Structure 1
Amino acid sequence: MRISLNWLRELVDFDLSPQELAEKLDMAGFEVESIEDRRTWADGVVVGKIITADRHPNADKLQVCTVDIGAVEKLTIVCGAANARQDLYVPVATIGTYLPIVDLKLRPTKLRGVRSEGMICSLAELGLAKESSGIYEFEEGIPLGTDVRPLLGLDDAILDVSSTANRADALSMVGIAREVAALLGKDVCLPLATIEHQPKKLEWVAIADAKACPAYIGTLIQGVKVAPSPEWLQRHLEAAGMRSINNIVDITNFILLEWGQPLHAFDADTLAEGINIGVRFAKPKESLTTLDGQERALHSQNLVITSGDIPVAIAGVMGSETNEVSETTTNIVLEAALFDQATIRRSARAQALRTEASARYERGVNAAALEIASDKAIQTIVQLAGGKVVEQSTVDYRAPMTRTIELRLERILQVLGEIELENGTITYLTEEDVEKTLRSLSFELERIKPAEESAEASSDESESSEESTTRWLVKVPSYRYADIEREIDLIEEVARIYGYDKFCETLPARTELGYLSTDQILLRQVRSALRGAGLTEVIHMSLCSPSSSDQIKITNPVATEYSALRLDLLTGLIDACVYNLSQGNGILNAFEVGRVFGKDEEGSGETDHLAGIFGGDPTVGTWQHNTQPYDWYAAKGLLETVFHYLGVNVEFQPDQKDDRLHPGRTASLWISGERLGTFGQLHPQLRAERELPEQIYAFELDLYALLEAIARKSIPVFKPYSTYPSSDRDIAFFAPFKTTVAEIKRSITSAGGELLSSVTLFDQYTGEGVPEGQRSLAFRLVYRASDRTLTDADINPVHQKVRDTLEEKFRVSLRS
């Protein structure tokens, strides 16, 4: 809101500079975004009188003027304004004057051969208008040489102040004046109505929804004369960024700016069926042409003011063009009403229309000031536009807006801590400080007497007890009713007005450098490994559509499709893969770290998972084309690469529990006997339904199980590479299908001992010559020692032990 210092000084007496006041407001929680010091716009511009105005000898559109500014010598000024003429009183910028609006410093110059010693100014050159057709004309009789700034309202400074959403009272001059008075220890001179009007009380206002419109005051004023507003009123509005329209409309805007209470004036003679005002929500197919000239289709969310059940205004937002006050208006109905914050917010949003009135209703206006604003507006209208207050209709459903909060001195000192006085003394706030600060903001305080002390207690103990138990009952003023709700709000007011800068900065006694937790370090390693494998991290919402009884449902969802919490991450990744493909971006190779939720017999629970999806042809869309997309082993290898990077040993076991995955190409993952998760190819039926290509692979892991396994691994210690040659031995045998390769490799590794360097499956065969229900497997075993070259005598016993273990444990039929 734009705050005029001249207007503010009418309400509270202070002598601070604009910069000093801005600093005070900043420290009190009101951000001053800019300072518009108008005193610099016309510094050096004075009132002058054109003595003569002759045609320029060398230019048809220029005049050579002799100007008297009250000095001994007259000025010769070349002027191009069409309205320059003899005996005209004008603003004159003298030599040396700087006009910041046009970025011009006046110097003696020659125009078409004639010397010019200044400039006769228009309002545009002084910053008071965007465009001007000619120079400004003062009334006759003003002393020559007078500074023009007081005459044009340029002796003012404008502060652009923004406030937080909870401070609706700060959207008014009275609200800011109360703050300034509290900060400076001054009194506020409230601009109250000084005369009483006694109109006839009638009932021509009806409210359909008391919650949407708690109160409405309609006043009929007859015989008004619509005319331009007086100069003081126009300046007040212009300083606040509003344009002057006519005296009636300007008065409603003036009261809005002064008290923060929106008002509206209807031309009474244009209302349908006489004066019969109603407040209701719009009906289907109703429309209204608003004051901005736009025809607007009304929605069911729009609260409207009606006359004869015909909409004449969007309540709290904008009035109708049909019923606006014009030069022909003689009778008006003045509206002063309270509207619900949420109702006006929805109504304005439905029309994509936000006005000064709706901005205040959305934050909440002071319900107790409704009559004050209405009376002040009526008084001002009668004074400036004449007329007679004939009748008034009032509907009031307001509940008492009183609130009393208990405040403890002990809690104040605990929250705010110590203060530093001007002499450097460190102390605490006293009871008097608290009371003085809150009373300056119009809070009413009543001290609660502490319980009587025991007769045995010493006087010192009694004083200490009384101080620690000092409490007040604080009555909140009506204009802060929506803002002050708890004890901590009162404590904030004490700190804000007393001065945040006066409180000591208390740092912790001992500080330490920040660090990452073990889980954070390990999770960064996991993310790095997955990115290194070519996967991109994605993030999805935890909310999804309900599809299972195991899901946790949301009681107040924003939409049906977001009414439950997700059970897994894989569903979201599959949806993302489908969307990515439909947008022409190819297969989504991605992973996600996120929280999943579920419930069982013990109640609801949550945990973190790691999931990923990848596959297809990675060369699609490039000049290289690979007709062989990921197969099972390549996909499994990608995951094993990640595990190898993380230093964990993961076993793959056949699995068929997830019906979204191929029953013959799905594995459960295990670490040290603990289930880690599932990996597999998407089920052909699911791929067909979602129109996905073949061989898309996905995995979902328990993140905590993976992080624990990484944390358990021993610190890697470098071992020198063996300088001695290795010895390879192959072993082939028939094994049942139910025996997994992982189990076989684990047994071979255990039996091989320290001499066995690696075990690799290099061949698998099924078909002719292989017994039914079995397959032929061939492994390459590499033996190596770090201190010698192995001989057959070293290798044969170990290799034979491996063979015996396979025969005994798995009943294999050895072929070599």
Structure 2
Amino acid sequence: MKFTLSWLKTHLATDADLATILKKLNAIGLEVDGVDNPADKLAAFKIARVLTADPHPQADKLQVLTVDQGDGTPLQVVCGAPNARAGLVGVFGTEGAVVPSNGMVLKKTAIRGVDSNGMMCSSRELELGDDHDGIIELPGDAPVGQAYADWAGLNDPVIDVSITPNRQDCMGVRGIARDLAAAGLGTLNALIVPPIAGVGPGPDVRTDDAEGCPAFYARTVRGVKNGQSPDWMAKQLKAIGQKPISTLVDITNYIMIDLGRPLHVYDMASLKGGLVARKGKAGEQVLALNGKTYTVDETMTVIADDEAVHDIGGIMGGEHSGAQDSTTDVLIECAYFTPERIAMTGQKLTLTSDARGRFERGVDPAFLDDGLSIATFLVTHLCGGTPSEPTRAGSPPLTPKVIDYDPDQCVALAGVDVPADEQKRILTNLGFTVTGEAASFDYQDGMPISLPGHWAVTVPSWRRDVDGWPDLVEEVVRIVGLDHVPSTPLPRVPGVARPTATPEQLVERRVRRTAAARGLSEAINWSFLSEKEAASVGGGDWVLANPISEDLKVMRPSLLPGLLSATRRNMDRGASSVRLFELGRRYFKQGERATVGFVLAGDQSPRGWQTGKAQAFSAYDAKGEVVALLAAAGAPVANLQNFGDASGAYHPGQSGTLRLGPKVVLAEYGVLHPALAKQFGLNGTVVAGEIFLDAIPGKRKSGFMRAPYAPPALQAVKRDFAFVVPEQQEADALVRAVKGADKKAIVDARLFDVFTGPGVEEGHKSLAIEVTLQPGDKSFTQDDLDAISAAIVKAAQKLGGVLRG
């Protein structure tokens, strides 16, 4: 919501300066997004008079001017404007000035061999209009030497305020002025509603859609003469970025911004019969004022005559029935549209407008008559014509809301002790009606008793967001100032606080900390992907019907695409090593799945000591990260089984999965498939992995506690075994078989060597396994060790393993 300081002061009588007003706006909850003073960029431009104008000796279309800028020293200026002449008064840019339209810094220069000391400016160069055919011509009595912005009244700051959806009353300058007045920054000027003496009956209008348009008020004005808006109106509209079009159109825009009341003006010559607010019909179309054609349906409210639709009700008018330069008879529409209908229509048509922004918040339903009268007065005052009587079709929702309010509720809810008289002043200045003591009762011993000190507060018609007494407290505290709300800690409950984090949240915390401790940086990506990215990892189950972008259409089935995109962005910016992880959700038909994903790309850091060069990541690096994060998540990593069939996102033969049995997949990892890496613009070896937190078995909920840890009294025994197995035999399966040969005595088994070559039959390999044996209450005898060794050899033989001699 933009407005100028001078516009604000037409409603607010105040001596406060700009800084004070801005501070107060922020204090009462109307956040200032920005302030722009057009005079700032025009400070170096002065009013100057052309003393002489002679032809340029080296160019037919240039003139050499002598310019008086008011300091008594005429300057020579080369100018190509056709209207440059002696005696002309215009706007002169001195040396060092910056031209607003193109950012050019003016300096002394030679043009075709003739020195030029500045520039006489056109309207376009100063961003004051589109005229570029010649330099600006000012009245002959304009004061030479004065700053042009001050003389032209351009020293008027434009304030941009962010209005939250609940503050529909502040979508007009008057509503903002009302808030400032209530905050003690001045007095709200009375709103003058001129009486209109209508001649003849009102226009033929009605509403057949009470749900979408409960009230349709209108008046005709015949014999108008349209044209350019007066300077004061055009100046205010241009200052806030509104392009003046014509007097009739500008009147509606001015009232909408000034009072928050959208209106529309129809050229009666384009209408066929009366106007009706009704529901649209399937297939009906309207060419809107933005030049686009929209198809309406039965869920939308339209304004139509006997032949065609002329208006998407409350959002945008039609192009062929709007006011034109040749318009002589107009119909002024002032209607009330329900916010819900406007919001749904705007979303369906993806159509936004200033009117929609106000109607979907909710305009004042009691301001139809006054709004119509003010618009009629401006039309007749600026364009002439004879107004008719008004036609009032339907009735707006005007049932008042009355709230029982106790002033003590302010300190009880907000912690701010505001005297009752001050609360009453604030509410009254905001437009609320506060009367006496309300009929409020409580019960004691089964009998009703009155509660003194309560007020009956009537909510003004323009505040549909206020529903109960907490809203009144909010209004009081907001005007007093949110900075007065004390920072009061919550009371501490005696004893030990109960944990609030769920087991799942605790697991995620441990995993996040472990990943960060291992040198990975956390990424937070969108949960949405493009269809192409989703297809690259198997496709997604959830596709949005109305995405904010085609690139954010599918709920992600994997965390890899987001991480790979982030990796590419980092490497495009010169990162030589990227280590990213993300903890988020994947989405499937069965629901959401908590997942940890990571990507390692580029070179490992620091450089390897063997070669002095950085090494690329490998699948084993990915496996190391997976195992560490699974351990942090509480997975039984000692029982994991390694399978080689990872998803299609990974390189075959250089990837795998970690499982608890054949069906329970806890993670997959490996080198990224080259095609996928190419799709995301990544070069070199990229490794990645995903850990499926939802698949990790939870702790058993039993009433028994784990026995306390007791270190073994006897020293462990280690034995090495080398087995010759077929080359295709997986080492992991052999290690698991060896470990399971005697579950009581064998506490660990690990592969420490793989050998092929002399002494090993072709097509086979030698796998060396270190086995750790832990005695219990007595040491192993030789017979015990022999029995365990025999069991180990027998277990290996089941997989084709032969003890190597």
TM category (shorter chain) comes to: 0.5 to 0.7
- Amino acid aligned to 2:48: G
- The 5 A counterparts of 1:344-383 are 344-383=342-381
* Equivalent in the alignment of 1:806: none
* Structure 1 position 473 matched with structure 2 position 463: no
* Structure 1 position 76 matched with structure 2 position 65: no
Match of 1:785 among 775, 778, 789: 775
After superposition, the Cα gap between the structure-2 partners of 1:179 and 1:644, relative to the gap in structure 1 and judged at 3 Å, is closer
* Equivalent in the alignment of 1:30: 30
- The 5 A counterparts of 1:118-129 are 118-129=118-129
* Structure 1 position 706 matched with structure 2 position 699: yes
- The 5 A counterparts of 1:101-120 are 102-103=102-103, 109-120=109-120
- What is the alpha-carbon distance in structure 2 between the residues aligned to residue 796 and residue 75 of structure 1? 113
Local SS of the residue matching 1:61 = strand
Local SS of the residue matching 2:346 = helix
After superposition, the Cα gap between the structure-2 partners of 1:501 and 1:609, relative to the gap in structure 1 and judged at 3 Å, is closer
- What is the alpha-carbon distance in structure 1 between the residues aligned to residue 500 and residue 486 of structure 2? 28
Query: In terms of mean alpha carbon deviation, does 339-348 or 515-524 score higher?
Result: 515-524
Residue 265 of structure 1: how far off its partner (Å): 1.0
* Structure 1 position 20 matched with structure 2 position 20: yes
After superposition, the Cα gap between the structure-2 partners of 1:137 and 1:195, relative to the gap in structure 1 and judged at 3 Å, is farther
> What's the CA shift string for 1:86-109, capped at 9, x where partnerless?
332212234565655554565555
* Structure 1 position 506 matched with structure 2 position 488: yes
- What is the alpha-carbon distance in structure 1 between the residues aligned to residue 632 and residue 330 of structure 2? 84
- What is the alpha-carbon distance in structure 1 between the residues aligned to residue 145 and residue 700 of structure 2? 84
- Amino acid aligned to 1:177: A
* Equivalent in the alignment of 1:11: 11
* Structure 1 position 444 matched with structure 2 position 433: yes
Q: Is the 8 A contact 1:41 1:101 kept in 2?
A: no
* Equivalent in the alignment of 2:414: 416
Local SS of the residue matching 2:125 = coil
Q: Is the 8 A contact 1:446 1:474 kept in 2?
A: yes
After superposition, the Cα gap between the structure-2 partners of 1:201 and 1:521, relative to the gap in structure 1 and judged at 3 Å, is same
* Equivalent in the alignment of 2:327: 329
After superposition, the Cα gap between the structure-2 partners of 1:650 and 1:12, relative to the gap in structure 1 and judged at 3 Å, is same
* Equivalent in the alignment of 2:63: 63
> What's the CA shift string for 1:620-662, capped at 9, x where partnerless?
xxxxxxxxxxxxxxxxxx99x979994769999xxxxxxxxxx
* Equivalent in the alignment of 2:188: 188
> What's the CA shift string for 1:175-212, capped at 9, x where partnerless?
11112222234221244332322343446112111110
Residue 524 of structure 1: how far off its partner (Å): 5.6
> What's the CA shift string for 1:315-361, capped at 9, x where partnerless?
12222222222122111111111112222222233333211112211
After superposition, the Cα gap between the structure-2 partners of 1:253 and 1:450, relative to the gap in structure 1 and judged at 3 Å, is closer
Q: Is the 8 A contact 2:248 2:265 kept in 1?
A: yes
* Structure 1 position 288 matched with structure 2 position 277: no
- What is the alpha-carbon distance in structure 1 between the residues aligned to residue 102 and residue 137 of structure 2? 20
* Equivalent in the alignment of 2:396: 398
> What's the CA shift string for 1:385-439, capped at 9, x where partnerless?
0011134322122232411112223321122225xxxxxxxxx322122222222
After superposition, the Cα gap between the structure-2 partners of 1:724 and 1:101, relative to the gap in structure 1 and judged at 3 Å, is same
- What is the alpha-carbon distance in structure 2 between the residues aligned to residue 61 and residue 647 of structure 1? 85
- What is the alpha-carbon distance in structure 2 between the residues aligned to residue 416 and residue 539 of structure 1? 37
Q: Is the 8 A contact 1:448 1:473 kept in 2?
A: yes
- The 5 A counterparts of 1:398-797 are 398-418=396-416, 428-448=417-437, 470-481=453-464, 483-508=465-490, 520-522=505-507, 646=634, 706=699, 708=701, 712-713=705-706, 719=712, 722-724=715-717, 784-785=774-775, 789-791=779-781
> What's the CA shift string for 1:57-84, capped at 9, x where partnerless?
2332321223345554544332222221
Residue 51 of structure 1: how far off its partner (Å): 3.2
After superposition, the Cα gap between the structure-2 partners of 1:469 and 1:86, relative to the gap in structure 1 and judged at 3 Å, is same
Q: Is the 8 A contact 1:526 1:646 kept in 2?
A: no
- Amino acid aligned to 2:462: Y
- Amino acid aligned to 1:439: T
Q: Is the 8 A contact 1:18 1:159 kept in 2?
A: no
After superposition, the Cα gap between the structure-2 partners of 1:199 and 1:714, relative to the gap in structure 1 and judged at 3 Å, is farther
- Amino acid aligned to 2:455: W
- What is the alpha-carbon distance in structure 1 between the residues aligned to residue 285 and residue 692 of structure 2? 56
Q: Gaps (5+ residues) in structure 1?
A: 419-427, 453-464, 542-557, 561-571, 578-589, 599-605, 613-637, 653-668, 671-676, 681-697, 729-744, 760-780, 803-816
Q: Is the 8 A contact 2:203 2:218 kept in 1?
A: no
Match of 1:341 among 299, 321, 339: 339
- What is the alpha-carbon distance in structure 2 between the residues aligned to residue 242 and residue 355 of structure 1? 12
Q: Is the 8 A contact 2:46 2:93 kept in 1?
A: yes
Local SS of the residue matching 1:363 = coil
* Equivalent in the alignment of 1:233: 233
- What is the alpha-carbon distance in structure 1 between the residues aligned to residue 510 and residue 68 of structure 2? 84
Local SS of the residue matching 1:368 = coil
Local SS of the residue matching 1:448 = coil
The count of residues paired between Structure 1 and Structure 2 equals: 629
- The 5 A counterparts of 1:247-266 are 247-266=247-266
Local SS of the residue matching 1:474 = strand
Q: Is the 8 A contact 1:178 1:188 kept in 2?
A: yes
After superposition, the Cα gap between the structure-2 partners of 1:57 and 1:719, relative to the gap in structure 1 and judged at 3 Å, is farther
Query: In terms of mean alpha carbon deviation, does 297-306 or 711-720 score higher?
Result: 711-720
Q: Is the 8 A contact 2:218 2:372 kept in 1?
A: no
> What's the CA shift string for 1:656-694, capped at 9, x where partnerless?
xxxxxxxxxxxxx99xxxxxx9969xxxxxxxxxxxxxx
Q: Is the 8 A contact 1:522 1:710 kept in 2?
A: no
Local SS of the residue matching 1:164 = coil
Q: Is the 8 A contact 1:312 1:319 kept in 2?
A: yes
> What's the CA shift string for 1:102-139, capped at 9, x where partnerless?
54565555444444444322223323236633211223
- Amino acid aligned to 1:142: A
- Amino acid aligned to 1:165: P
Local SS of the residue matching 1:435 = helix
- What is the alpha-carbon distance in structure 2 between the residues aligned to residue 41 and residue 649 of structure 1? 68
- What is the alpha-carbon distance in structure 2 between the residues aligned to residue 93 and residue 701 of structure 1? 70
Query: In terms of mean alpha carbon deviation, does 289-298 or 643-652 score higher?
Result: 643-652
Q: Is the 8 A contact 1:727 1:784 kept in 2?
A: no
Residue 447 of structure 1: how far off its partner (Å): 4.0
* Structure 1 position 159 matched with structure 2 position 159: yes
- Amino acid aligned to 2:715: S
- What is the alpha-carbon distance in structure 2 between the residues aligned to residue 651 and residue 205 of structure 1? 80
After superposition, the Cα gap between the structure-2 partners of 1:375 and 1:703, relative to the gap in structure 1 and judged at 3 Å, is farther
Local SS of the residue matching 1:62 = strand
* Equivalent in the alignment of 1:732: none
After superposition, the Cα gap between the structure-2 partners of 1:783 and 1:120, relative to the gap in structure 1 and judged at 3 Å, is closer
* Structure 1 position 43 matched with structure 2 position 43: yes
- What is the alpha-carbon distance in structure 1 between the residues aligned to residue 177 and residue 64 of structure 2? 49
> What's the CA shift string for 1:476-532, capped at 9, x where partnerless?
111112x111211111111111111233332357699999666643466699999x9
- Amino acid aligned to 2:14: F
Residue 232 of structure 1: how far off its partner (Å): 0.8
- What is the alpha-carbon distance in structure 2 between the residues aligned to residue 405 and residue 183 of structure 1? 22
Q: Is the 8 A contact 1:50 1:67 kept in 2?
A: yes
**TM norm structure 2:** 0.66
- Amino acid aligned to 1:207: T
After superposition, the Cα gap between the structure-2 partners of 1:406 and 1:795, relative to the gap in structure 1 and judged at 3 Å, is same
Local SS of the residue matching 2:57 = coil
* Equivalent in the alignment of 1:601: none
After superposition, the Cα gap between the structure-2 partners of 1:503 and 1:151, relative to the gap in structure 1 and judged at 3 Å, is same
* Equivalent in the alignment of 2:53: 53
Local SS of the residue matching 2:50 = strand
Local SS of the residue matching 2:331 = strand
Residue 243 of structure 1: how far off its partner (Å): 0.6
Query: In terms of mean alpha carbon deviation, does 308-317 or 242-251 score higher?
Result: 308-317
After superposition, the Cα gap between the structure-2 partners of 1:714 and 1:115, relative to the gap in structure 1 and judged at 3 Å, is farther
Q: Is the 8 A contact 2:507 2:633 kept in 1?
A: no
